[in-house]
Amino acid sequence: MAERTTAVQRAPSSGALRVVEPQTLLERMSRIHDDIARRAFELFERDGAFGRDLENWFDAEEQLVHPVHVNISETDSALRLQAEVPGFEPSELEISLEPSRLIISGKKESTQEQPEKGKVVYKELCSCELLRVIDLPVEVDPDKTKATLKNGVLELEIPKAAGAQSKRIEVRAA
């Protein structure tokens, strides 16, 4: 079994990206799961419609967790990952990297400003929390990874572990 390590080497322009142990993020994932379940039940109670469990779950998830769009490219020696995390600062993000899994988590505090005159007629809210778990296509070397955050895009340069190769799997019609 591969040795489990967690690390990210900070590149000079990375700011204060935080690297945390997987257990810390797993605890956050559990809390987020509970929050989504609670919100999905509130949606069910409001509508009272049976058989819409999955729809309520997805609605609750969309309300509570900001989606993280990810692009991963591969060279012979490394994976390059770009994740969209608009509005998040380096100090609000946490990264956990294992040989075959990456977890990106973030939470920011938002302030609600009230208008000086008039009443709010319409207001859109954006989630202040994000979470993305990515199973990597090859084993990587967490200790040599570099991370940068620029213009709302988190970039990770993740070297492959020695001897790691991508596996291509053919899909055949049944």
CATH of residue 76's domain is 2.60.40.790
Residue 115 confidence (pLDDT): 60
Burial 75-113 (b: 16+ CB within 10 A, else e): eeebbebebbbeebebebbbbbbbbbbbbbbbbbeeeee
Does 72 reside within a domain?
Answer: yes
| Number of structural domains found in the chain | 1
SS3 91: helix
Long-range contacts of 48-55 (CB under 8 A, 24+ apart): none
In a domain, 105, yes or no: yes
In a domain, 71, yes or no: yes
The reported pLDDT for the residue numbered 113 is 62
Which residues, 6+ apart, have CB-to-CB distance to 56 below 8 Å? 40, 41, 43, 44, 47
Residue 35: inside a domain, yes or no? no
Residues of the chain with pLDDT under 70: 1-23, 25, 109-116, 122-127, 164-170, 173-174
Residue type, 41: F
Whether residue 168 lies inside any domain: the answer is no
The gap from C-alpha 73 to its chain's centroid, in whole angstroms, comes to 17
Give the Cα separation of 86 and 114 in Å (integer): 23
- Tokens 């055949």 correspond to 172
Q: Say how many C-beta atoms besides its own lie within 10 A of residue 140's C-beta.
A: 23
What is the DSSP secondary structure assignment for residue 25, as one 8-state letter? Answer: H
Do residues 63 and 124 touch, judged by C-beta distance below 8 A? no
Domain containing residue 73: 9-22+67-109+126-159
Sign of the torsion formed by the C-alpha atoms of 25, 62, 124 and 86: positive
Q: How far apart are CA 59 and CA 156, in angstroms?
A: 30
Q: Report pLDDT for 14.
A: 42
| Residue 116 domain-assigned (yes or no) | no
Q: Please report whether residue 172 resides in a domain.
A: no
The pLDDT value recorded for residue 7 is 46
